[in-house]
Structure 1
Amino acid sequence: MIEIKTPAEVEAMRPAGRFVASVLTALEHAAEVGVNLLDLDALAHQMIRDAGATSCYIDYHPSFGASPFGKVLCTSVNDAVLHGLPHDYRLKDGDLLSVDFAVAVDGWVSDSALSVVVGTPREEDLRLIETTQQALAAGIEQARAGNKLGDISAAIGEVSRAAGYAVNTQFGGHGVGREMHGDPHVANDGRKGRGLRLQPGLVIAIEPWLMRGTDRIFTDPDGWTLRSADGSRGAHSEHTIAITDGEPVVFTARD
C-alpha cells in the first residue's frame, strides 16, 4: 500500500535522514586502506547505539535473503554491487566500496547509499560513481508533484544509458516510512508519463546502481551479496526524499 505522509509526518522524518547522512559521512572518512569491513560495521553500530536509533538491517529477512542479515551496513566491494554482507576483509588500495545504510529514528526510517574509491582511484571507477550520482540527481529533479513515477525512472535510465551503462531493473528504489521497504517500487529505467502520479507527502528512496560491463547479477554463497555476472565493478548512490508542493526534500543530503 502506498502511504502519503502529512506535513507533520514529513517533518518528523527529518531527524532520521540527518542521522543516516552523518553516519555515511563518518564511514566515508573511515574507509581507508587496511580498514576491515567489520570495523566499519562496528562503527555504524556504535553510532546507532549512541543515538538511540534502530537498525533496519540487522533482523531483516526478505524472501531473497538466505537468513536474517545480522549486520547494520551493506558493504559491497568491487564486483559486489548490492547487499554486501560485511565480513572479515581489509580494504585494499584501489577498492571500490559501496555502503548502504538504513535506520529508524523515533519510528521513522531513512535509507541512503554512497560509493567511494579507497586509496588510489581508477578513472573508470570515478566515472561510474559520478554517473550514479548524476542519475540520482536527475531522478530527484523529476520528483515533483504532478509528475509521474515513470518520469523519475526515465530520467535515471537516460543518464545511465547515455554514459554507456546497461541498467538492471531487478532492484531499485522504494517507498519509505515506518518500514524500510514499501510501495511504490522505483525502477531505475522506465517511460516518461507512465505510472503513479506523484503527490505531496509521498516519501521514496531513489537509488541508481550501475555495473561497468553488464546488467546481470548473481547471488554470492553468503546468500546476500549480489555480484556482477562478468566480474565488473559496481557503484550505488541513494537518497530518501519527500515530494512536496515545491522542491523535493532530500532527507539524507550530506554536507
Structure 2
Amino acid sequence: MNTPGIHPSAVIEDGAQIDPSAEIGPFCVIGSNVVVAADVVLKSHVVVTGHTQIGEGTIVFSFAVIGEVPQDLKFKGEASTLVIGKRNRIREHVTMNGGTAGGGGVTKVGDDGLFMAGCHVAHDAQIGDRVIVVNSAAVAGHCVLEDDVIIGGLSGIHQFVRIGRGAIIGAVTMVTNDVIPYGLVQAPRGELDGLNLVGLKRRGVARGDITALRAAFQMLAQGDGTFHDRAERLGKESESEYVREIVAFVMGDSDRSFLTPR
C-alpha cells in the first residue's frame, strides 16, 4: 500500500479503514475490520485486529496487541468489538481484548488515557476518561473503571469489580471488591485506607467538598448499621454533590461487595 504515512513494510488487510492523516509504522499488522481515525500513530510492530476502532490522536507504541480475541474459555467466536477513544497513549506490550456475548460484546476505552508498558485490559471492561493504568497492571473482564481512576503498577483488578471516579489503587495491590469514588486503596489484599485527597486537591475541588467527603468517609467507617445503611443515611444528610456521588455508586448495581473503610 503506497500511501503517505504508511510504511511499506506494514501489512494492511483489505477492508481496513485508515484515515489519510494516520501514521502506520514499520512491520505493523492491521486487520480487515479495523478503523483507524485521524492523527492516530502506530509505532513499529503494532498488531491491531478484530472489530477494533481507534479514536483520533491516539498513539500506540511498539509491540502492543490491540483487539485480539478475549482470554475467556466461554468465548466461542461471537462478534467481539473493541472501541478506543481519542488521544490515548498505549505504551509498549499493552494488550486490549474485544468483548464477549456474556458481557455485551464490547470492550470500551474512553479518552485521554495512559496505559503504561505491559498492562492489560480484558474483555468487556468499560474504561472511562483520563484513566491511568501503570506498568504491568491487569484489569480483568467486565470491570468498570470510571473517569480519573489510577491503577498502580503490578496491581490486579478482579473481574466484575467497579472502581469509582477519582479513586486511586496503590502499587502491587489485588482489588477484589468495588471501590467507592475518590477512595484510596493499598496493601497487598486491597484495603480502603482513606480518600484520594491529593487527586481531589489537584483537580481543584473546593475545601468545603473535601471536608464533606472526609466526614462522609468517617461515617461510612464508624456509623451505625450496615455499609449500605450508612451510605443511604449519608444521601439524606449531605448536600455535597461529591458525597451524593459516593452514595449513588454504593446504591448502584454491583456483582461484588464493597471494600469498606478500616
Relative to the length of structure 1, the TM-score reads: 0.28
Higher helix share: 1
Q: Please tell me whether Structure 1 or Structure 2 has the larger radius of gyration of its CA atoms.
A: 2
- TM-score normalised by structure 2 residue count: 0.28
